[in-house]
Amino acid sequence: MKCQDIEKYIVPYVDNEISRELLLIVEAHLQACPSCQQWVAKLQDESAKTHEPSTPLPPRSSRRRRKGKNRRKWTAVTIAFLLVALLIGTSFLIRLGEGLGLKKAAEQWFSTPANASVTDQGITLKIKDILADPSRVVVTYVLVDDQGEILPDLYFETSGPNQLYVTDEKGEKIAEGAGFQRGEQYADLTFSLRNPPNHIVVHMDVKQYGAREIKPVQWSLKIPVDIEKNMAASKTIPIDQSFTTPEGLNLHAKQVTYAPSATRLEIETNWTAEAKERIQKQARERLQIDLDEAFLRDLFSHKISYHMEDEQGQIYADMVPGSVNQTKTVSLAEYTVENDSEKYGWYGSFVPYEEKGKLFLVLDEITVNEPADISLSFNPKKLTQQPFRQQIGENTYTLSPLVQETVEGTGERVWRMELDIVGTTASWPKWFLRDDTRRSYPVAIDYQRSPIEGSSSGAHVKETLLIKELDHLPSQLTLVMQTQKKTYDNFQWRVEIPPAP
């Protein structure tokens, strides 16, 4: 790490206001840089004069160690290790929170410094490090201008015109699409993996970058990565514990994989035959429609939420769909179970657990789609005079007039209508339209959601409904809700996780 990279940490270092991770980095740099040593000595001397201590100030490291009994001494071996890591450019050593798994793996030499780069339009995409194991591939990169300065905006889309994916040596895709995370002076792209081979290739074809201002670019990289060592250091242990909720959802905790950067728990879920029959019967009775494959796929979709806790019940990692809300949590990813379309698979990854004692999986809740029993019948021609409004339960539904318009690009004529839902709804409902002859029309939906000010549970959902295949407005239309999300909790499923070998 260069002096200019260390400068911003020097004053916090002298003032004893620096994290343990950055302390390691600064002290490693100081061991090899006489210039920065002199600067620190000068600042410490000025600090000593200002505070006038009765005894001389001890060295920086000594002062920090005295604050806690369990702090380790920074030996020459530790400093040497950090110096080598800094010289080869690894960025994983300064990770915090979720990045602690990457930091741990880097400390054991499981990360691979990369020398890949490509330049276009005076901007260089530079790959700094790659860490891959059975759970994921993390690619750390920076964008550098022609003066060698790192750009403040490191973002680029991980889909659309930009193609980011991982293949085996034969070119077969094993992962595509990546999660983006911005750090200080770097950014990460993370690909979820499932049982990768020992040799993989990361492909990056970037056509545009920037979050504030999108700029065109032509970057293309193919980066071979050898993860044989990382795979050999990983171990998968079966769990084979099952549970069925009262709603009829089967959960099977299959196995746990201990990898260098993360521990991954694998769970499969599917509905019982009795539950599927009951749900389909309920849908036919309430909606009075044919249940096609697309509808059934949506009807049986679901989410699970669980956490990992220790023997005392303290939460270690909290797995919530769609978000990472706890520093030890890496991800919760859904995948398709091969050769069984009725099963869902879930990979939950978290930072390796290093404390003594056992770790447990605890199911918190499931969120399912249920056939709705809500419909809004109205005269479309009267909507031009006043909006339609109906109270159902704790929610108020308001419809605006229908407006016919042409879809740009396709020329298709559709009817557009706005639907406002105010109340306690926690989901984004799906609808279809039925006329007075009981003919049904498909509805495409765009959503906006915002909380109600001053309410902890209320929400305002605004839906734009695009109605297709409707040639004219009949005297009566009925907007029928297809499914609504419902959450169930209060389960008693706690599974002990086999310890790491």
Closest to 178 in 3D by CA, of 155, 208, 149, 211? 155
Quick check: 50 pLDDT over 60?
Answer: no
pLDDT at 111: 79
Q: What is the pLDDT of residue 451?
A: 57
Q: Which domains does the chain have, with CATH numbers?
A: 3-88 (no CATH), 110-231 (2.60.40.1630), 234-370+489-497 (2.60.40), 375-481 (2.60.40)
- Cα angle at 236 between 235 and 239, to 5 degrees? 140
The CA–CA distances, whole Å, from 215 to 121, 153, 178, 183 equal 10, 11, 20, 21
Q: Which of 223-227, 337-341, 347-351, 469-473 comes out lowest in average pLDDT?
A: 337-341
- In angstroms, the Cα distances linking 116 to 93, 113, 126 are 20, 9, 6
The per-residue pLDDT for 218 is 96
* Contact (Cβ atoms closer than 8 angstroms) between residue 374 and residue 484: yes
For 499, the token pair is: 């310890």
Give SS3 for 440. Answer: strand
Q: What is the 3-state secondary structure (H, E, C) of 246-294?
A: CCCEEEEEEEEEECCCCEEEEEEEEECHHHHHHHHHHHHHHHCCCCCHH
pLDDT of 160 reads: 83
Q: Dihedral, CA atoms, 45, 46, 49, 50, nearest 10 degrees?
A: -150
Q: What is the pTM of this model?
A: 0.70
Burial pattern 125-152, b for ≥16 Cβ within 10 A else e, equals: bbbbbbbbbbbbbbbbbbbbeeeeeeee
Those residues whose C-beta lies under 8 Å from the C-beta of residue 260, and which sit 6 or more positions away, are 104, 105, 108, 110, 131, 133, 230, 233, 234
Q: What does each C-alpha distance from 31 to 28, 78, 427 come to in angstroms? A: 5, 11, 56
3-state secondary structure 141-153: EEEECCCCCECCC
- Confidence band, pLDDT 50/70/90 cuts, at residue 178: confident
Cβ partners under 8 Å of residue 225, min gap 6: 112, 130, 132, 137, 199, 200, 201, 202
Spatial separation of the C-alpha atoms in residues 405 and 380, rounded to whole Å: 16
Are 463 and 427 in contact by the 8 Å Cβ rule? The answer is no
Per cent of the chain over pLDDT 70 is 76
Top-confidence range, 212-216, 263-267, 348-352: 263-267
Which neighbouring-strand residues pair with 124? Answer: 119, 144
Q: Which residues pair with 206 in a beta bridge?
A: 219
Hey, which residues does 167 pair with through a beta bridge?
173, 201
* 306: enclosing H helix or E strand: strand 302-310
Q: How many residues in total does the chain contain?
A: 501
For residue 4, what are the contacts with CB-CB under 8 A and spacing of at least 6? Answer: none
pLDDT digits (tens, 9 = 90+) for 231-262: 999 999 999 999 999 999 999 999 999 998 88
Burial grade of 380 (CB within 10 A; 0-12, 13-18, 19 or more): buried
Q: How many CB atoms sit inside 10 A of residue 70's CB?
A: 5
Which is more confident, 498 or 100? 498
Residues 6+ apart with CB under 8 A from 74: 24, 27, 61
Q: CB within 8 A of 19, min separation 6: which ones?
A: 96
> If pLDDT is split at 50, 70 and 90, which confidence band does 87 have?
very low
CA distance 65 to 347: 39
- Residues 168 and 199: beta-carbon distance below 8 Å: yes
pLDDT digits (tens, 9 = 90+) for 189-209: 988 888 899 999 999 999 999
Name the band, by pLDDT with cuts 50, 70 and 90, for residue 71: very low
For residue 58, what pLDDT is reported?
Answer: 37
Long-range contacts of 112-116 (CB under 8 A, 24+ apart): 112/225, 112/226, 113/88, 113/89, 114/139, 114/223, 116/221, 116/223
Q: Judge residue 400's burial from the number of C-beta atoms within 10 Å of its C-beta, 0-12 exposed, 13-18 middle, 19 or more buried.
A: middle
Q: Which amino acid is at 408?
A: E
Host H or E run for residue 469: none
493 vs 239: CA distance, rounded Å = 14
Q: Is 43 helix (H, G, I), strand (E, B) or coil?
A: helix
**Residue 353 pLDDT class (50, 70, 90 cuts):** confident
Q: Are strands 117-120 and 302-310 parallel, antiparallel or unpaired?
A: unpaired
Tokens 């991770």 belong to 21
Amino acid found at 184: E
Say which residues have a Cβ less than 8 Å from residue 165's Cβ, sequence separation at least 6: 173, 175, 176, 177, 191, 203
Sign of CA dihedral 61, 64, 66, 69: negative
